[in-house]
Amino acid sequence: MTDILRIGIDVGGTNTDAVLIQGGSVRHAVKTATTADVMGGILATLRRLLDESGTAGDAVGAVMIGTTHFTNAVVQRRGLARTAGIRISLPAARTLPAFVDWPADLRAVVAAPSHAVRGGYEVDGQPIAPFDADAVRAAARAIRADGTTAVAITGAFSPLNPDQEQRAAAILAEEWPDAQVTLSHELGRIGLLARENVSLLNAALVPMARRTVAAFADALAAVGIAAPLFITQNDGTVVQSDEAAAYPVRSFASGPTNSLRGAAFLSGLDRALVVDVGGTTSDVGSLVNGFPREANNVVEVGGVRTLFRMPDLLSIGLGGGTLCNPADPNDIGPVSVGFRLTERARVFGGPDLTTSDVAVAAGLVELGDRSRVADLDPAYVRAAIARIHAMIADAVDRMKSDAADIPLIAVGGGAFLVPDSLPGVSEVVRVPHQGVANALGAAIAQVSGEVDQIFRDLPREAAMARARELAEARAVRAGADRESLKLVEMEDIPLAYLPGNSLRVRARVVGDVA
């Protein structure tokens, strides 16, 4: 890693964390409460980070921001734009219209009247039916009349041939210049319904993503930082902020990814389990070669089926703010006081008994006023702590994928709840700055290079090798260190309808910033 000064910021639901790193070591870290006003919160965090570390804004070389705004918007069903789908597939896929498998509450917020038109491609590249430009034009006018500006266009087999999606977008631009259009072939692979879902979610998020990213940029400008702004992506890499604003769904899982990558960085371990204990949940993930192990198959976001590759995480309802039943030490959670810990918990003068209170009584951590939990029965405290430890041990065990003992890295504000020894765990690793692992994960995020193109008259192995070389060259151009490049994704689709031996190959590599 080079000597440039980098700032990593994690904007979480409760806290906004920031770190300043240089040459692979942490220069300074701060934690502040997240504010409803995005810019204000980031600005306050940046000011503290720079002031406390005595750093001038213009000395900063890059800023990486990881945010849960976009996922939270979907999960909490707020800040989403009403969105219309245009599907180009008729007469295929007629009985399963856009939004068909969305949860009713999310559909109620997002779904505008959607349209299906004749067209799309068969698997062999011939048209399903002639592309119906007039129907697209009519759909565009109806969408405009409905007052919807967010539009997702999905054509059957568009990953093999994006032509009709692009033609539809051109017609939309003529009829409805203010429309904000997402094209499905830019976001997904084969699988019409999931690709359409992702495109609809993306379109619904773009207006908010633009505002959010603009607020981030304003905050940087206000503290005198002129360095490029990057946003972290699901796979632990970063992209420039304008691209992130156009494809917010690619940032969905960046929170957990950053946390796991930060844990790997802080511990120096690249094969370990990680438990991130927050205020409301504990998330257990697994690091393999320094990257989060990914979940297989279908991933749901806010109840919507997608084709994303996300870190494989197990979340349990146990965090530092989780409520404990004073009458039964085994009755813990899943309800949490969340960000209101400092007004609700007993050690802070509040009325509720939380896991943090029990941990203070047990002497595991110093928080607030210990005398406020002096009345707790030591037998109750022992039993409740045993229960908390058992819950964490069970979650850790369920995430283990091999029989050998493996280290467990404990991070997050509630890491004091993690016991010092667990079955199947070789050691519990506690690291400095563990409370800001997410921000660190953002700060050390890597650069990727991707290629997605058609190769003709090359044997499959040669085409794949060529795709990989091209992806690597792009990553290096974008600032990656060649020695650190790793292949993270490789997929090939034979294109039977094209002459010769045609293969579409997608390859993605990632590497450290040089």
Partner 1 sequence: MHRPPFDLRERDLEDFATGAWILGTGGGGDPYFSMLEAKQHLAAGRRATVIDPLSLPDDALVACVGQMGAPLAKQEKLCDGDVIASTIPMMEEYLGRRFDAVMLWEVGGSNGFQAILAGLLLGLPIVDCDAMGRAFPQADMTTFAICDLPAYPWTMVDIRRNRILFTEAEDWSWMERMTRRACTVFGASAATCKAPRTGAEVKRATCLHTLSRGLSIGRTVRAAREAHADPIAAVVAAEGGMVLFRGKITDVMRRATEGWLRGRIAIEGLDADLGQTMAIDFQNEFSVAWRGDQVAATVPDLITLVDSASGDAIGTETVRYGQRVTVIALPAPAILTTPKGLKHVGPRAFGFDLDFHSVFAERPA
Site string for partner 1, 139-168 (x = CB under 8 A): -----------------xx-----------
Of 36 and 403, nearer to partner 1 (C-beta) is 403
Contact 150, 80 (CB under 8 A): no
Query: Smaller CB distance to partner 1: residue 88 or 150?
Result: 88
DSSP, residue by residue, 309-334: --B--EEES--TTEEE-TT-TT-EEE
Q: How far is the CB of 101 from partner 1 (least distance, A)?
A: 6
Of 493, 474, 494, nearest in space to 482 by CA: 474
| DSSP 8-state code for residue 34 | -
| Choices 260-268, 288-296, 339-347, 451-459; region in contact with partner 1 by CB under 8 A | 288-296
CA 246 to chain centre: 15
Count of CB atoms within 10 A of residue 227's CB? 17
If one asks whether residue 190 binds partner 1 (CB under 8 A), the answer comes out as: yes
DSSP state of 415: G
* Helical segments of 318-477, H only: 341-344, 355-361, 378-399, 437-443, 460-477
Q: Which stretch binds partner 1 (CB under 8 A): 70-78, 344-352, 398-406, 415-423?
A: 398-406
Under the binding rule (CB under 8 A), the answer on residue 129 touching partner 1 is yes
CA distances from 403 to 105, 289, 314, 398 (A): 42, 18, 18, 12
- Nearer of residues 10 and 196 to partner 1, judged by Cβ: 196
- Tell me whether residue 191 or residue 407 sits nearer to partner 1 (CB atom): 191
Task: State in angstroms the smallest separation of the CB of 496 from partner 1.
Answer: 5
- Told to check if 214 binds partner 1 by CB under 8 A, we report no
Quote the least distance from Cβ 404 to partner 1, whole Å: 10
CA distance 416 to 359: 8
Verify binding: residue 403, partner 1, rule CB under 8 A: yes
Answer for which of 423, 459, 494, 500 binds partner 1 (CB under 8 A) is 494
- Return the structure tokens found at 15: 């806290």
Give the range of 276-284, 339-347, 425-433, 489-497 binding partner 1 by CB under 8 A. 489-497
- State in angstroms the smallest separation of the CB of 31 from partner 1: 33
Draw the binding track, 85-124, toward partner 1 (x: CB under 8 A; -: no contact): ----x-xxxxxx---xx------------------x-xxx
Query: Minimal distance in Å, beta carbon 96 to partner 1?
Result: 5
Query: How far, in Å, CA of 107 to CA of 104, rounded?
Result: 5
- Sole window of 47-55, 209-217, 275-283, 399-407 interacting with partner 1 (rule: CB under 8 A): 399-407
Nearest to 388 by CA among 440, 447, 322, 335: 322
**β 272-277/406-411 pair status:** parallel
User: Using CB under 8 A, which residues numbered 289 to 308 contact partner 1?
Assistant: 293-298
Interface stretch with partner 1, choices 143-151, 248-256, 332-340, 485-493 (CB under 8 A): 485-493
128 in contact with partner 1 (CB under 8 A): yes
Asked if residues 128 and 122 have their Cβ atoms less than 8 Å apart, the reply is yes
Residue 254: other Cβ atoms inside 10 A:
32
Calpha distance 262→254 (Å, rounded): 12
23 or 423: CB nearest partner 1:
423
Least spacing, CB of residue 95 vs partner 1, in Å? 5
x/- site string to partner 1, residues 305 to 324, per CB under 8 A?
----x--x------------
162 HSE (CA, 13 A, CB side)? 17
Contacts of 497 (CB under 8 A, 6+ apart): 124, 125, 126
- Pick from 416, 420, 395: nearest CA to 407: 420
Of residues 25 and 296, the one with the C-beta less far from partner 1: 296
Nearer of residues 349 and 423 to partner 1, judged by Cβ: 423
- The verdict on 192 binding partner 1 (CB under 8 A) reads yes
The letter for the amino acid at 467 is A
Cα 7 from chain centroid (whole Å): 18
Task: Count CA within 13 A, CB hemisphere, residue 180.
Answer: 22
Number of residues forming the site for partner 1 (CB under 8 A) = 42
Segment contacting partner 1 (CB under 8 A): 4-12, 239-247, 381-389, 394-402?
A: 394-402
Give the binding range for partner 1 (CB under 8 A) out of 54-62, 185-193, 201-209, 228-236.
185-193
Contact between 287 and partner 1 by CB under 8 A: the answer reads no
**Residue placing its CB nearer to partner 1 in the complex, 208 or 399:** 399
C-alpha–C-alpha distance, residues 284 and 408, integer Å: 10
In three-state secondary structure terms, 237 is: strand
Q: Which of 75, 133, 142, 193 binds partner 1 (CB under 8 A)?
A: 193
56-59 contacts, C-beta under 8 A, 24 or more apart: 56/224, 57/220, 57/223, 57/224, 57/225, 57/226, 58/224, 58/225, 58/226, 59/5
In angstroms, give the least distance from the CB of 396 to partner 1: 14
Residues in contact with partner 1 by CB under 8 A are 89, 91-96, 100-101, 120, 122-124, 126, 128-129, 156-157, 190-193, 293-298, 309, 312, 398, 401-403, 460, 489-494, 496
